[in-house]
Structure 1
């Protein structure tokens, strides 16, 4: 009976460790290799199939002068990826992207590539501020309307030189460049907990097997 109880406990702990790995291993890979994320086009503007939950934000963007570009997916290794819906306002030199958070909530962020390199990123949700003078600015304005978010974004662009092209190809290139350069520090900061939980899960698995070996 004691052996059966011990076996059940081992299986429960092992299951917990496996679940931790499934939830966090891809984040650990992302931490160590941000440039491994692939930004891939999925559909042009006329085939975007915008979800109903994003329609109100999309309507507000169109009212501000943004035009739809297309849908893309940002796919880390060992993860299904995040589907994103892109818009652009060439006059304001700004891309807008809609997507869903992990909790299923609609999210919006604005992105302007800089010349010769760099980005300004302004999110309509909580996002820690970060700046590299002349090259990179990011931050969040939780619950700001698209109009207010655009105003804040344009204010944060002052003194910087936006890139020239605001096509869908340029948006896809900017996304890939963010993962390969300016965004890597933020990615590592966001995914550090995933690394820690991955090591915890591996330690649990190792202790189970090593412990079993010593018992034998």
Structure 2
């Protein structure tokens, strides 16, 4: 094989590795360091600027008795922050959060922190189902209406004790606690593929440089 052909193969491999790293390196970091996601308050309830795409969900939550709390940001390393809008139902002891995916798709999930530690999470989109009795219940009911989703969430809360702080500060702290603790397994399951692609990309880079040295 001539030098130009060898160089072309090396360049193609490096381009592939760069693409793989651009798409997956942040997922690898998230797999290794779930607690690195920064969760910060963004705006109080009276200053929330809810996108038009989420307005209908916001109206439906208010109709179910939820009270607006404020918004918060969740920012993994090397990624743009996701802005989430939070409500609480003090009677039912449930947080509701709506946000948009990078593609602009509206999403809703309900969250109840448990005492002394734990969470019940019910999402209106596909989410891994996990159940650690009395400590952690995570599942989904894809494309369900907010009312139906809330009923499902309340059923899944049977037999557990909700925590006490359903304020805006309590919601932000619940997000931080999830990333630090019980959410780690779910995050790692979601981002394992990103870690594997990152390892493959680094292997391509290493083999390219080691191959050039050997030649």
**TM-score, length basis structure 1:** 0.94
In structure 2, the partner of 1:120 is 120
Aligned partners of 1:143, 1:130: CA distance in 2, in Å? 19
Deviation by residue 1:97-135 (Cα, 9 ceiling, x = unmatched): 111224331111000011111110000011121011111
* Superposed displacement of residue 75, structure 1: 1.2
Deviation by residue 1:24-55 (Cα, 9 ceiling, x = unmatched): 11111111111111101111112221111111
Instruction: Give ranges in structure 1 of 5+ residues lacking alignment.
Output: none
In structure 1, the partner of 2:57 is 57
In structure 2, the partner of 1:136 is 136
Q: 1:16 and 2:13 equivalent?
A: no
In structure 2, the partner of 1:73 is 73
Aligned partners of 2:117, 2:211: CA distance in 1, in Å? 53
Kindly report which structure 2 residues correspond to 1:1-216, keeping only aligned pairs within 5 A, or say none. Answer: 3-215=3-215
Q: CA RMSD in A?
A: 1.5
Aligned partners of 1:46, 1:120: CA distance in 2, in Å? 28
Stretches of 4+ moved more than 6 A in 1? Answer: none
* Superposed displacement of residue 6, structure 1: 4.1
Aligned partners of 2:81, 2:203: CA distance in 1, in Å? 27
SS in 1 for 2:91: helix
* Superposed displacement of residue 144, structure 1: 0.4
* Superposed displacement of residue 93, structure 1: 0.5
Instruction: Give ranges in structure 2 of 5+ residues lacking alignment.
Output: none
Aligned partners of 1:88, 1:47: CA distance in 2, in Å? 16
Quickly say closer, same or farther: Cα 1:107–1:214, change in 2 above 3 A. same
Aligned partners of 1:8, 1:44: CA distance in 2, in Å? 55
**Number of residue pairs matched?**
215
Aligned partners of 2:47, 2:11: CA distance in 1, in Å? 47
* Superposed displacement of residue 92, structure 1: 1.1
